[in-house]
Amino acid sequence: MKHLDLTSFANTLHSLDIALHEPGDTLNEVKLQMMQDSVIQRFEYTYELAWKTIKRHLEMQQETPLDDLGRRDLFRRAFEAQLIQDPEAWFGYQDARNKTAHAYDHKIALDVYRSIDPFLKDAKALLQTLEKKYGGS
């Protein structure tokens, strides 16, 4: 069996988890904003690694590139391959990621921030599924 290195994905997921779950109630407004910005940035690179890891896994299974496959179709295939539970949720994470690429708006940033906890749970489930297939990172 081929080996898919999950180390980077696992590390970014852990980093996002720590940033998201640090207690924010004792932080002043400026520090809270900085913490939220940090969480959003960690979400961005964790999301990027998540979908690229899905793509690599699927390509390894069929040994052909999926370069022409759109992200939504990629998530549908990941669902069919039992890597993820809900492709619609991943469509939402893609939308959240797209929002982060545009001009900064506090309301949009807050919406993205609120979507990160469900993403974290789904990304952890993805990592666990892949670790079962590949024997850990």
Q: Which positions are annotated as active-site residues?
A: 97, 102
Cα distance between residue 63 and residue 57, in whole Å? 9
| Helix extents (H) in 25-105 | 29-62, 71-80, 87-100
Integer angstrom CA distances of residue 33 from 25, 28, 39, 44, 99: 12, 9, 10, 17, 17
CA terminus-to-terminus distance, the chain:
15
Q: In this structure, are residues 124 and 6 in contact, taking their beta carbons and an 8 Å threshold?
A: no
Cα distance between residue 110 and residue 74, in whole Å? 27
